[in-house]
Structure 1
């Protein structure tokens, strides 16, 4: 249950990394935004004592830097400077996108007084200024074009009364429109895997993931009467098969271990020789883009870390599907 929510609205990010995993592209991985939360917490000023627990992201605009037209898109790539020998450097494929997002971070007090509205305003403004100088998903934060009062940063302390808390959340949701937030739909992937297995015992979760990731066109042959002579004839009708409603997308949700955990310094050329090292590969699931006005409580769009170290699983979780089950 979130009692305090830090809102950093309408951040404009230039050249964010849009290749979210080896198999997906589009919106940056949620792990990139969890990284922003961790960096922001580690660099808190000494006079701000907060603990950051989870993060939510509302996307208001995305402009992927790709060619337009046709069914195949290609990233706009840059020509790198010449190498040390004076020869032409190779082109490394990099996907970029310009974003406008709002970050919502669930916080709790670690000795700081969040009961004072003035103190909350100071904290929100300080952290908003701090995030302006950070890199988010590999992109640079640039100054906002809109300086209206409705887009000010805010640290919301929710009322203990459920009715008042609901009113606060309703007001906050209006500030997040128009936009969409990404939530986790593990439940649909599990359900669709079971459906495919009932049709074909050799079907796997990968088959279900790929099936939900694409638009499936189906052909139906119907018998209709000819308007001229009244005779029946066969007519082919094409339709898009959508197993579940909603704007579903394939997403990476973390990493799974493919090796043992090595002691610090055992693996050559590791990024940090002072921490343990393990080889991993990406974990995938399904996500859904949902408009903020559909969330009943702020917890619905929040992402948090849920690792299983014994199984070597490092992944992110989101409780939106659990809320739907409860409803």
Structure 2
């Protein structure tokens, strides 16, 4: 498995208001957009920066979510997406409704950046950061539209960048993470699947990793016979398996190949006839939302691409590992 690429700066575009982002993150999950969407944004932004003459290389991306509002009906146990009513087609018939999940977001985008120009000329950093913010404002974020800030002159909406090299790296990151509060950042918890699988094997030797993933995707309740037959004891006898896990969510992390690579133009109706083609399906894992002040290193929040074509894997990774000094497991599900 690869590791997060090295970088010299963190560039932050704070409190972006994104309207109607894609809430259907994969065929099996919905809610916050997939991290693959933000990696795609990063690559598209790098191409635009090069076209604008900026000497910037984007290595990884992190996201801090400050607010969200998924566009679903509030019907208690059964929820459905709020869909648009499409106009009639050219024949005067009702057009088919394609179910689209949408979500409004307030995000801070954190890019890991390398730039030889910034190392030579530190004064160019702020000007280039402003140019990048202008380029992003013209782009889509996970299919959503970036709305203008409430007041462009407010300090909280101003883009900024900080060096992440030298002796003051930790001090710089410590200040940055406090600026992202209140908010939560998504990190990878792949190891929880192995832990849950070991627990399932205690009762079922044929349990698979899919069973472990599904078990982590839900709240599993069990009833333990109380010692005393009282109303309070019977209520306390109901236990769930979320104690100590924190805010765990199922997430898509990329794509796995279903077959060989086809030459460019060999597959009909492909979007790009000049690029080799391969059929893939989504890969799934488990993530955790944590507060940025619990991070002790920028790599813990950054996502980067890990493509292994020979193994048929095209996925994004994050190098987060729980650290006992911050006690990431102290929060329980209420």
TM-score by length of 2: 0.90
Q: CA deviation at 1:144?
A: 1.1
Within the candidate set 187, 205, 211, 1:183 is matched to 187
Q: For 1:149 and 1:115, how far apart are their aligned partners in 2?
A: 27
Q: In structure 1, what is the equivalent of residue 68 of structure 2?
A: 62
1:207 to 208, 211, 215: 211
2: distance between equivalents of 1:291 and 1:182? 9
Alignment of 1:1-327 (within 5 A): 1-44=6-49, 45-109=51-115, 111-114=116-119, 116-147=121-152, 148-161=154-167, 164-224=168-228, 235=234, 237-242=237-242, 244-321=244-321, 324=323
Larger radius of gyration: 1
**2:332 paired residue number:** none
Q: CA deviation at 1:118?
A: 2.6
Aligned twin of 1:230: none
When the two structures are superposed, what TM-score results if normalisation uses the length of structure 1? Answer: 0.92
> Given the superposition, is the C-alpha separation of residues 234 and 76 from structure 1 closer, same or farther in structure 2, using an over 3 Å criterion?
closer
- CA drift at 1:90: 1.3
Q: CA RMSD in A?
A: 2.0
Shift, 1:307, TM fit: 1.1
Are the equivalent residues in 2 in contact too, given 1:6–1:106 (CA < 8 A)? yes
1:36-76 CA-to-partner distances (Å, cap 9, x unmatched) read 10000001144311111100000000000011131111100
Q: Separation in 1 of the partners of 2:113 and 2:170? A: 18
Runs of 4+ in 1 over 6 A off after TM superposition: none
- Pair 262,166 (structure 1): closer, same or farther in 2 beyond 3 Å: same
> 1:196 Cα shift?
1.4
Note the alpha carbon deviations across 1:277-298, whole angstroms, 9 max, x for none.
Answer: 1110000000000110001011
Give the conservation status (yes or no) of the 8 Å contact 1:2–1:299: no
Q: Which deviates the most, 243-252 or 92-101?
A: 243-252
Is the deviation greater in 204-213 or in 139-148? 139-148
Shift of 1:171: 1.2
The question of whether the paired residues in 2 share the 8 Å contact of 1:253 and 1:315 is answered with yes
Q: How many angstroms does 1:112 deviate by? A: 1.6
Helix, strand or coil: the match of 1:43?
helix
CA contact (8 A) 1:4 1:158 kept: yes
Secondary structure of the corresponding residue to residue 191 of structure 1: helix
Cα separation, 1, equivalents of 2:234 and 2:308: 54
Deviation per CA, 1:187-207, whole angstroms, max 9, x where unpaired? 111221122123211100010
State whether residues 255 and 280 of structure 2, in contact with CA within 8 Å, keep that contact through their aligned partners in structure 1.
yes
Quick one: distance in 2 between partners of 1:39 and 1:176?
24
**Cα–Cα, structure 1 residues 198 and 174, in superposed 2: closer, same or farther, change >3 Å?**
same
Q: Is the 8 A contact 1:302 1:318 kept in 2?
A: yes
More moved, 65-74 vs 51-60? 65-74
Contact 2:82 2:101 in 1 (8 A): yes
Matched position secondary structure for 1:307 = strand
Q: Deviations for 1:98-125, whole angstroms, at most 9, x for unmatched residues? A: 000000000112x423454431110111
